[in-house]
Amino acid sequence: MRRIYFDHQATTDLHPEVKEILISSLSLFGNPQTIYYEGRKAKEALERARKEVAELINASPEEVFFTSSGAESNNWAIKGIALANQGKGNHIIASPIEHISILTPLKRLQNLGFSVTFLPVDQYGRVDPDEVKKAIRKETILITIQHASNEIGTIQNLEEIGRFAQEAGIALHADAVASCGHYPIDVQKLNVSSLALSAHTFYGPKGVGSLFIKKGTKIFPLIEGGWQEEGRRAGTENLLGIIGMGKACAVAKREMGNWIERIKPLRDRLIREIPAQIERSYLTGHPTERLFHHTSFCFEFIEGEALLLYLDEEGIASASGSACTSRTLKSSHVLQAIGIDPVLAQGSIIFSLGRENTEDDITYLLTKLAPIVERLRQMSPLYDRYLKEKKIKGG
């Protein structure tokens, strides 16, 4: 059966060039920490990858550290910066729509005596830089704001937030897992002290990520007891993963412009045509200040997991922020924070496009989506009620 993949925020396939370099590196077994030939060869590959990651985000290679995932990078930044700056203060500023790999470490820090201010966000999920400024205290040691949301696609104004943070001498961490490889990132322009990346969301392998740490940032290691990564992240390097990540970054740097040029019009078509086809559908997140490959909607009267499964039956992979889709059975904290009614939030669906999606894929989705929504609505007692009320009002 034809499969169409619209869940590039969950993960992506490997880019052919990444596949190729992984296969050709399979016999590279040396330990990069050893000084003989095998080790030197491994070290060379490791450092090449570091340079490729650095180039994608305009950092210097000494500022790039490899980890096991975006979640590890976020954990490291939050816990590492907070603990290293305890002498200065214990106050952290965060957005309420961060990924759980930020929110959970923050909760742990709160239990350890740190205090966290969660900023308000507007209906699109944007943090007002002035609110950041207002929340800064003399004990503030860390501000953490995502670059973009994986759930609603909204891009934050990090440049300005970063400027305030810099002026106040406070570290700014940005979770860029949703945006890296799909949206241009320049750590110099964004004024961040640290930035988390993950390879598998932009055609790299799973199980490898990296953390950019700006020179001079005070941060403790998370995993200690080894000389790897300048002694800041212990553990024998995931060499193959790292090589794959480097290649994914090099490819993204070269191709991103083309990808955006091709994918954005496809995405825009979804944003235009879905609400035109389906009544009572609502775009979530910012209409323009959003990831170019991302679109997310809530459909009234239906539940997202059921919609996702019916789409799957038609060969379409998508995501949802509904309560039933999440393991915790709680509806998305992001949709809640931007003020979406909890019942409407149940009808959440997310389509994230990738480099291989075509105009045809979009047409296929658009022919399948509306009938599925209609089928679920015909089953829904909430839709029943709506139609009856509409009839009464209309006379």
Partner 1 sequence: MYSEKVIEHFKNPRNVGEIPDADGIGEVGNPVCGDMMTFYIKVKDGVLVDVKFKTFGCGAAIAVSSIVSEMAKGKTIEEALKITRDMVAKELGGLPPNKLHCSNLGADALHKAIEDYLKKQEKKI
Q: Which residues are catalytic?
A: 324
Residue of 84, 368, 382, 386 interacting with partner 1 (CB under 8 A): 382
Among 90, 191, 210, 346, binds partner 1 (CB under 8 A): 346
CB of 71 to partner 1, least distance (A): 21
Q: Taking CB under 8 A as the rule, does residue 305 contact partner 1?
A: yes
Task: Report how far Cα 6 is from the mean position of its chain's Cα atoms.
Answer: 15
Q: Which of 23, 100, 276, 324 binds partner 1 (CB under 8 A)?
A: 324
Q: Is residue 332 near partner 1 by the rule CB under 8 A?
A: no
Residue 387 in the binding site for partner 1 (CB under 8 A): no
Contact residue for partner 1 among 24, 123, 367, 378 (CB under 8 A): 378
Question: 23 or 387, CB closer to partner 1?
Answer: 387
Candidate ranges 69-77, 227-235, 277-285, 303-311; the one touching partner 1 (CB under 8 A): 303-311
Residue with Cβ nearer partner 1 (25 or 348): 348
Which phi and psi angles does 4 have, rounded to 5°? -120, 125
Q: Is 52 in the site for partner 1 (CB under 8 A)?
A: no
Residue 68: exposure state from Cβ atoms within 10 A (0-12, 13-18, ≥19): middle
Give the whole-angstrom CA distance, residue 22 versus residue 241: 8
Minimum distance, C-beta of residue 350 to partner 1, in the bound complex (Å): 16
Q: Which is nearer to partner 1, 249 or 372 (CB)?
A: 372
Q: Among residues 327 and 393, whose Cβ is nearest to partner 1?
A: 327
d(CA 178, CA 202): 9
Show the tokens assigned to 223: 């995993």
Joined together, the tokens standing for residue 381 give: 């007692």
389 binds partner 1 (CB under 8 A): no
What does the alpha-carbon distance between residue 364 and residue 192 come to, in Å, rounded to a whole number?
41
Alpha helices in 153-238 (DSSP H): 158-168, 187-190
Among 164, 183, 301, 351, interactor with partner 1 by CB under 8 A: 301
- Min separation Cβ 125 and partner 1, Å: 21
CA triple 306-311-314, angle to 5 deg: 135
| Gyration radius of the chain over CA positions | 22
Query: Binding of partner 1 at residue 327 (CB under 8 A)?
Result: yes
By CB under 8 A, is residue 224 in contact with partner 1? no
Give the pairing of strands 171-175 and 194-198: parallel
Taking CB under 8 A as the rule, does residue 281 contact partner 1? no
Helix 359-379 and helix 304-313: axis angle, to 10°? Answer: 130
Q: Which two tokens stand for residue 254?
A: 């070269």
In this structure, the dihedral spanned by the alpha carbons of residues 210, 214, 217 and 221, taken in order and rounded to 10 degrees, is 20
* Residue 277 CB-density burial (10 A; 0-12 exposed, 13-18 middle, 19+ buried): middle
- Site for partner 1 contains 313 (CB under 8 A): yes
Is 3 a binding residue for partner 1 by CB under 8 A? The answer is no
Stretch that binds partner 1, among 134-142, 158-166, 240-248, 316-324 (CB under 8 A): 316-324
Instruction: Examine residue 323 and tell whether it contacts partner 1 (CB under 8 A).
Output: yes
* Least spacing, CB of residue 380 vs partner 1, in Å: 4
Residues across the chain: 395
Residues that bind partner 1 (CB under 8 A): 301-303, 305-306, 309, 313, 322-325, 327, 329, 331, 342-343, 346, 378-384
